Amino acid sequence: MTCYRNIFPSVREELYYWENYAHQIPNEELKQQALASIDTKTFHCEGGAIYACLANQRRKDAVRFIVAYQTISDYLDNLCDRSTSMNPDDFRALHDSMLDALCKDGTVRRENYYELREDQDDAGYLRSLVDTCQSVVQSIPNYEHVYPHVKRLADLYVDLQVHKHVRLDERVPRLTNWYDQENNHDFIHWNEFSAVTGSTIGIFTMISYALDEKDHSSQVMESYFPYMQGLHILLDYFIDQTEDEDEGDLNFCHYYKEENEAVDRLKFFINGCKESTQKLPDQTFHELIVTGLVGLYLSDLKVDQLPKGKLVKRELLKHAGQKAKWIYWNGRMYRKWKKRKGYGA
């Protein structure tokens, strides 16, 4: 209940600020994608902000960082997904902002993240998001102990965004070569490694702990990479299969040979999460995240539109356990409440 009473209202406050800022962007394309990323991906910020609970007294600072960082991620994903550019250097220039956002010393890799694209003037929107993140990490004591781990996750995230947005015929070759170079877990496939790197929740966990002056980054890295982050993004792709097919977007669940394999692999990641979270501090919290990911993602109405979607949903909820079923029904009711209130997706 803490999330509904404290965390989610803070998320909406932060998003309201960034939405108002986005309305002031002079360039129409940048404005459109900034507003769309907030309107359609509020759920990403709400889900990520649950980790702010780990920051205890500095919960609001954690929410501020998480919303700003996730907003950068969602905004850039929109820009790259809907871009006429297929230039990997352009995608990397944009995503340098996500690396800069984690720098305590205020370092920026480039003065203009848009330097390789036609659309330019965002009235400082992206830089302000970066500055907000930096202002939070600058307040973290002993951040240098956490930074190598969050930097590693951010580097992999940026690499993924570059590889998956290039020309269609280059994507899979680039991703499989990258998998061969970077993957240290022989029990996950190339598409699953790509999914694992596409999550920001490991970063949010480490930053939230660090704000409470705790360094559990090594333990979080072992548990969240690959299991929790893999479950997170594979569920995200699983429910978006129809939408991504219509839009021509890359979806890592499409590379399973059949739907049964996708379900089996999701169960594998659920099992891995359950086992690895036993080694984490705040074990009960992280176990709840596992069931929460399953319950909340499957509560999305898009699942019912998938072939055999309702059957798959029942199977995965049963595998995840009774708490996942409770979160599923709670998520359904919350989505209906948000729709009535006119909040984003």
Whether residues 205 and 131 fall in one domain: no
Residue 165's alpha-carbon distances to 9, 81, 91, 175, in angstroms, are 34, 7, 8, 11
CB 295 within 8 A of CB 325: yes
- Is 191 domain-assigned? no
Whether residues 114 and 222 fall in one domain: no
- Is 16 domain-assigned? yes
Whether residues 103 and 207 fall in one domain: no
pLDDT of residue 1: 47
- Is 167 domain-assigned? no
Q: In the listed set 139, 165, 185, which residue is the last one of a domain according to the structure?
A: 139
Residue 270's alpha-carbon distances to 153, 155, 185, in angstroms, are 21, 25, 16
pLDDT of residue 81: 84
Residue 258: alpha-carbon gap to chain centroid: 26
Residue 13: alpha-carbon gap to chain centroid: 20
Signed CA dihedral, 210, 216, 221, 223: sign only:
negative
* Residue (of 312, 314, 134, 138) closest to 238 by Cα position: 312
Whether residues 45 and 122 fall in one domain: yes
pLDDT of residue 150: 98
- Is 335 domain-assigned? yes
- Is 181 domain-assigned? no
Residue 339: alpha-carbon gap to chain centroid: 22
Whether residues 134 and 267 fall in one domain: no
Host domain of residue 323: 199-339
Instruction: Tell me the per-residue pLDDT of 124-173, one tens digit each, with 9 for 90 and over.
Output: 999 999 999 999 999 999 999 999 999 999 999 999 999 999 998 999 99
Whether residues 209 and 130 fall in one domain: no
CA atoms within 13 A on the CB side of 182: 22
Euclidean distance between CA atoms 106 and 108, whole angstroms = 6
User: What pTM did the predictor assign?
Assistant: 0.93
Contacts (Cβ under 8 Å, ≥6 apart) of 46: 3, 7, 8, 11
- Is 178 domain-assigned? no
Whether residues 330 and 207 fall in one domain: yes
Whether residues 110 and 204 fall in one domain: no
Contacts (Cβ under 8 Å, ≥6 apart) of 111: none
Euclidean distance between CA atoms 75 and 85, whole angstroms = 15
Residue reference for tokens 């370092």: 107
Euclidean distance between CA atoms 127 and 130, whole angstroms = 5
Nearest 10 degrees: Cα torsion 222, 251, 270, 10: 80
- Is 179 domain-assigned? no
pLDDT of residue 95: 98
Whether residues 216 and 120 fall in one domain: no
Euclidean distance between CA atoms 240 and 177, whole angstroms = 25
Q: How many domains does the chain have?
A: 2
pLDDT of residue 342: 65
Whether residues 238 and 309 fall in one domain: yes
Q: In the listed set 139, 163, 179, which residue is the last one of a domain according to the structure?
A: 139
What burial class does residue 244 get, using C-beta atoms within 10 Å of its C-beta: 0-12 exposed, 13-18 middle, 19+ buried?
Answer: middle
Q: In the listed set 139, 155, 190, which residue is the last one of a domain according to the structure?
A: 139
Regions in the chain scoring below 50 on pLDDT? 1
pLDDT of residue 247: 80
- Is 187 domain-assigned? no
Tokens of 90: 């352009």
Backbone conformation region of residue 107, classed left if phi is above 0, alpha if psi is from -120 to 50, else beta: beta
